[in-house]
Each structure stands twice: as C-alpha cells, then as structure tokens.
Amino acid sequence: MSKYKNKEIGKRGEKLAISYLKKRGYRILDKNFRCKIGEIDIVAENDGQIVFVEVKTRHNFNFGLPEEALNYFKRKRLSRLALFYLSNHHLQKKPCRFDVVAILLEKEKPRDIHLIKNAFEAVF
C-alpha cells in the first residue's frame, strides 16, 4: 500500500475517532499537535484528565490488531510528546493518561471502533 493511501486511511481514522470520542464526553483540545519530537493525534479532556489519544486504523489484520502497533519506542516518544505538550500549555499539574482508539475499516466504513482507556503508562 502506498504511503499516500496510508495517510488517507490515517486521516479517515482520526475523523472517526474524534466523532467517537465526542459522543463519549471527550472535549477535543487539539488535533495533530506537532513539534520537533513528533505528533500527537488527539489531545482531549475527559473526567478532569488531559488525554493523549493515539489513533490506529487498519483495513485488515495482516499486521496484527491496530493497537498492537504501539511498541515500546512509540510509547516512549508519545510520553515525551505529552510532557512537551503539558509544559507548553502550562498543564503540568493536571492528571493525564494515554488512550488508544483502534479502528478497523471495511470498504472505507468503520467495521469496528474501540477505545482503550489508560492504554499504557508513560515510558521514559
């Protein structure tokens, strides 16, 4: 699959994830927050916590479940990104967590969307 097609799938997944999260009471604070370290898909607020949401979208299980793509190094990068975000937005004292929205698409439509709250602890 081409890199362009993967970006399209990712953008589609992020739009679906935002709609899904809003319906569950999340307040979206930021989308595609970028800095020199990398990118956070979605930053939201839920239950008084800042939530850093990683969206994983797939068309099939050829490379495993969507959420299995979060290896140690990706979790470490996301942890560093979260610290950077909290510091830049003066939110260091707010509790936070990492959630994952895993999406399986079938013919461009969501076949399955599930939320994994508190999917992993920060890694440093």
Q: What is the CATH number of the domain that holds 60?
A: 3.40.1350.10
pLDDT for 3 beyond 60: no
Q: Which residue has the higher pLDDT, 10 or 110?
A: 10
pLDDT recorded at residue 65? 67
Percent of the residues in the chain that have a pLDDT greater than 90, as a whole number: 68
pTM over the 0.85 mark: yes
Instruction: Report d(CA 24, CA 27) in Å as an integer.
Output: 9
48: left (phi over 0), alpha (psi -120 to 50) or beta: left
pLDDT for 110 beyond 80: no
- pLDDT tens for 83-101 read 999 999 999 999 999 999 9
Q: Which tokens in the block code for residue 42?
A: 């979605």
- pLDDT tens for 44-86 read 999 999 999 999 888 766 666 657 778 899 999 999 999 999 9
Instruction: State which residues form the domain around 87.
Output: 3-120
How many distinct structural domains can be found in the chain? 1
